[in-house]
Amino acid sequence: MQKKVKRNNHKRPQNKKPDADDPILGIVIPEKTGYSFQPVSKKFHKTLQLITQEKLSENDLVFAKVDRLKRAHFVEKVDRYNDFDSPVKISIHERDLPHVFPKSVIEESENLEAAQLENRTDLRNIPLVTIDGSDAKDFDDAVWAEADPNPKNKGGWHILVAIADVSHYVKPGSPLDNEALKRGNSVYFPRFVIPMLPERLSNDLCSLKPNVDRACLAVHMWINKEGKLINHKFVRGLMKSHARLTYEQVQEAKDNYESFNKNDLLKSVLPGLYGAFECLDHARKERGTLEFDLPEYQINLNKNHKVESVDVRERLDSHKMIEEFMILSNVAAAQTLTKRKALAMYRIHGTPPRDNLENLLGFLKQVGINVNLPSEITPEFFQNILARVSGTTLEHIISVLILRSQSQAIYSPHLDEEDHYGHFGLALKLYAHFTSPIRRYADLLVHRALVSELGLGEKMDYTAEQFEEIGQNISQTERRAALAERDTKDRYMASYCEQKTEQIFDARISGVGRFGVFAAIKEFGAEGLIPFRNLPRDHYIFDETKHMLIGKVSKRTFKLGDTIRVKILEASGLTGSMRMKIMDNKKSAKKPQRSRKPSKNNHQHERKPSKKRRK
């Protein structure tokens, strides 16, 4: 028998790109004389021979190493592939996500007791409410607002945001803390979450349930009538949520006066919340934040974890209201820690490097929009571009290109005063994550720093070097989570499309490359590849600068943003990939301007006649 090798021995370092020698994940397919191996990655289009002496079963999920002869060598069995929750299973193993809490962590969490009033500020009489999605299981933020009674701040508002006091329960260096740091953040899949902390905390002690005393770290904030933050104060308190509300309920109460008027709590709480929100929304528009109107798709699963439907998630004013309150709280936290010159973990979203903007400017020029880069790039520069294409067929694709040009946000204790600091997208000079310590380790560090600096509890004992290392780690775990969530979404989407092969849909070209065209189906957002063999027969020239394919004979063009008709030919829930074919392309085909000589960036491709036709 071949000796099992523990996958930990082959685990690549977290900040290192994948090697050719890294084990890959796939499923086992029994054959008459052995096994085949079907990788779950989109990069592999064929099954491979599996070399092993282990006794395996059909659909076992295993890791294997691929040699130069494209043979897979068994490393370790990790799970089973089935029709129930395999998209999540695959992401867990492929991205090496910690998902089982060690016994010591569970034991520590079970032995915790709820915090009492003691030296805390009593906030229980303030009608704080939680507002979350209808399917939310934990509630870690509560809000309240009123018109500021101070005559010197006429038209201003007093806002209170209370956040679950995770730092009271999770102590530095404890098993709970070490596991939270290892995970870095919670990971969210359709109908499933890998939490950063055990349920005893995330769904109980740190969940701001209605009519239950809960420890919190809260911030009083005062804004003027223009929505500018003029004062704030942090307190460590004990609160009691007066209601668990959903976004839909809050929106309905705003839109429907009759339901609003019948509910005493809503009648007393919502005017203050929406009044403060209107000021903050005005301030957001005035400072010129970067906003995209791109659809967000929600995957709905049935009881068997099959995709039942895919809907466009509606963005309500109630969503925006909570978002603005959270942003303001994050700003208050960053300002407090910066003013005190405290060691803090900032959320940094830097100015886009000019190199990132080349593709965007090239595409804009190609569609007749000439813009010059200003000496200082601001969100307003991008908003002006979006305003020019608002309501046109170009709006979607230019929004995507602008989004792709942005810098990647990171966590860091350092502020670069020259350029890369603050939050570029939100047009804010100082920003830190404060509002979700139950699901982000960065927020837990910000809580600890505030408690330490404001004399509200334990002193924080970290060095700048430790914070720098932690910042790099949690930036990486955040990216890992985002990739896992994206991969899982792709697999659910592809499994949904397995039942839609041979059907025709409207789609939008989302990418053009040397190997074909990517297109996203408008109805539900699934993206697939249209390889050259599935394009209308022609000799195609790929113009890299213009993101365009040009048919040498027909002069048809296929470019980024074009609307096309596609037929789904095949889809794989295992890999998350989909192959399509362009249908009725003449409606989307356009003749290019008189062609110049192909540039050095142009590449030629030809769809060859089939073997039958060549005969």
Q: What is the CATH number of the domain that holds 557?
A: 2.40.50.140
pTM (predicted TM-score): 0.90
Residues, the chain: 615
Q: Which residues, 6 or more positions from 447, have their beta carbon under 8 angstroms from its beta carbon? A: 163, 165, 166, 167, 217, 434, 437
Over residues 361-369, the mean pLDDT reads: 87
**Lowest pLDDT segment from 26-30, 292-296, 333-337, 338-342:** 292-296
Task: Show Cβ contacts of residue 527 under 8 Å, excluding neighbours closer than 6 positions.
Answer: 490, 493, 510, 518, 519, 520, 521, 578
DSSP per-residue codes, 229-272: EEEEEEEEEEEEBS-EEEHHHHHHHHH-HHHHHH-HHHHHHHHH
Please count the helices (runs of H) and the strands (runs of E) in the chain.
14, 27
DSSP annotation of 204 = I
* Span 515-539, pLDDT tens digits: 899 999 999 999 999 999 999 999 9
Type and span of the H or E element at 299: strand 297-301
Q: Residue 609 to residues 2, 239, 355, 550, 583: CA-CA distances in angstroms?
A: 48, 72, 40, 18, 18
- Between 319 and 1, name the one with better pLDDT: 319
Q: Are residues 420 and 460 in the same domain?
A: yes
583: left (phi over 0), alpha (psi -120 to 50) or beta: beta
The CATH number assigned to the domain holding 30 equals 2.40.50.640
Main-chain dihedrals φ then ψ at residue 279, nearest 5 degrees: -65, -45
Residue 384 within any structural domain of the chain: no
In angstroms, the CA 66 to CA 46 distance is 13
What is the torsion angle, in degrees rounded to the nearest 10, for the CA atoms of residue 430, residue 433, residue 435 and residue 438? -170
Mean pLDDT of 257-281: 85
591 and 550 co-located in one domain: yes
- Residue 374 belongs to a domain: no
Q: Are 228 and 286 within one domain?
A: yes
pLDDT at residue 592, rounded to an integer:
42
Distance of alpha carbon 473 from alpha carbon 460, whole angstroms: 19
HEC secondary structure over 163-188: EECHHHCCCCCCHHHHHHHHHCECEE
CA dihedral sign of residues 229, 235, 241, 244: positive
Lowest-confidence segment of 6-10, 34-38, 43-47 by average pLDDT? 6-10
Residue 381 lies in a domain: no
The domain in which residue 51 lies consists of 7-81
pLDDT-derived band at 20 (thresholds 50, 70, 90) equals low
Q: Verify that 128 and 26 share a domain, yes or no.
A: no
Residue 290: count other Cβ atoms within 10 Å of its Cβ. Answer: 21
What gap in Å lies between CA 430 and CA 347, rounded to an integer? 8
Torsion angle, CA of 373/378/384/385, rounded to 10 degrees?
Answer: 50
How far, in Å, are 169, 282, 333, 334 from residue 340 at the CA level? 25, 29, 11, 10
Q: Are residues 460 and 583 in the same domain?
A: no
Residue 376 falls inside a structural domain: no
Q: Indicate the average pLDDT of the chain.
A: 89
Q: Is position 231 within any domain? A: yes
Specify burial of residue 201 (Cβ count, 10 A radius: 0-12, 13-18, 19+).
buried
pLDDT at position 454, please?
Answer: 98
In the structure encoding, which two tokens stand for residue 49, read together?
Answer: 């021979």
- Of 81, 116, 132, which one is at a domain's C-terminal end? 81
Asked if residue 591 and residue 448 are part of one domain, the reply reads no
* CA-only gyration radius of the chain, Å: 27
Asked if the structure places residue 377 within a domain, the reply is no
Are residues 263 and 328 both part of a single domain? Answer: yes
Contacts of 325 (CB under 8 A, 6+ apart): 143, 159, 161, 276, 277, 280
* Residues 470 and 508 placed together within one structural domain of the fold: no
Hey, is 18 helix, strand or coil?
A: coil
Same domain for 486 and 506? no
Q: Do 536 and 483 reside in the same domain of the chain?
A: no
Is residue 187 domain-resident?
yes
Helix (H, G, I), strand (E, B) or coil at 423: strand
From 463, 492, 521, the end of a domain falls on 492
Q: What is the pLDDT of residue 8?
A: 37
456 secondary structure, DSSP code:
S
Cβ-Cβ contacts under 8 Å for 93 (sequence gap 6 or more):
25, 61, 63, 78, 79
**Would 58 be classed as within a structural domain?**
yes
Closest of 50, 275, 266, 55 to residue 148, by C-alpha: 275
> pLDDT tier at 135 (50, 70, 90 boundaries)?
confident
**439 and 411 fall within a common domain:** yes
C-alpha neighbours within 13 Å on the C-beta side of residue 351? 18
What domain count does the chain have?
A: 3
pLDDT band, very low/low/confident/very high, at 354 (cuts 50, 70, 90):
confident
Tens of pLDDT, residue by residue over 72-130, are 999 999 999 987 789 999 999 999 999 999 999 999 999 999 999 999 999 999 999 99
Of 474, 492, 510, which residue constitutes the final position of a domain?
492
Strands 71-80 and 48-51: parallel
Alpha carbons 562 and 545: distance in angstroms, whole number: 16
- Tell me, what's the pLDDT at 85? 84
pLDDT band for position 356 (cuts 50, 70, 90): confident
Q: What are the distances in angstroms from CA 289 to CA 246, 321, 396, 443, 565?
A: 26, 15, 18, 23, 35
Note whether 254 and 306 are same-domain residues: yes
Strand order in the sheet with 602-606: 557-559, 548-551, 539-543, 602-606
Task: Determine contact, residues 60/81, Cβ cutoff 8 Å.
Answer: yes
| pLDDT given at position 595 | 41
